[in-house]
């Protein structure tokens, strides 16, 4: 969802470069994605990630809840074809109500194209 809304904003230059790279990769037909609620390839370049946890403990808990909400609608640890996964996400999370527990407290919501499209 956040990748679909990405406009080049992020926590640091390295984070934005990595997010941009992953956002390009996920659009190719032969890309596979495995979902997890642990720190992932996107988190790996986040300056807030320390010892595999968000350094802000409260934020870490919020992010885990957001991930769990998304994973409740999809298959954990399954290897998805990226294009299929993004289609499925678009079908399942297509109203403000469907993302209220995920996006409502997000600091990027005002800049996020995915969220703006639902408004």
**Residues of this chain that bind ligand SF4 (CB under 6 A):** 1-2, 5, 99, 102-103, 106, 108-109, 112, 114-115
Output the smallest distance, CB 116 to ligand SF4, in A. 9
CA 115/CA 5 separation, integer angstroms: 7
Output the smallest distance, CB 18 to ligand SF4, in A. 15
Nearer CB in complex with ligand SF4: 80/93: 93
Q: Are 3 and 23 in contact (CB under 8 A)?
A: yes
Nearer CB in complex with ligand SF4: 18/29: 18
H-assigned helices in the chain: 2-5, 13-25, 57-71, 82-92, 100-103, 113-118
In terms of Cβ atoms closer than 10 Å to its own Cβ (0-12, 13-18, 19+), residue 52 is exposed
CA 94/CA 9 separation, integer angstroms: 23
Nearer CB in complex with ligand SF4: 29/35: 35
Nearer CB in complex with ligand SF4: 35/108: 108
Output the smallest distance, CB 84 to ligand SF4, in A. 19
Strand-pair partners of 26:
none
Output the smallest distance, CB 22 to ligand SF4, in A. 14
């Amino acid at each position: 969802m956040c990748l679909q809304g990405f406009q080049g904003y992020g926590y640091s230059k390295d984070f934005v470069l990595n997010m941009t790279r992953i956002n390009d990769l996920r659009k190719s037909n032969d890309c596979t994605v495995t979902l997890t609620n642990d720190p992932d390839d996107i988190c790996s370049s986040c300056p807030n990630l320390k010892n595999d946890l968000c350094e802000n403990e409260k934020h870490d808990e919020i992010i885990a809840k957001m991930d769990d909400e998304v994973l409740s609608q999809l298959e954990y640890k399954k290897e998805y074809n990226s294009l299929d996964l993004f289609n499925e996400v678009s079908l399942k999370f297509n109203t403000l109500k469907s993302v209220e527990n995920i996006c409502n407290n997000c600091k990027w919501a005002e800049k996020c194209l995915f969220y703006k499209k639902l408004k």
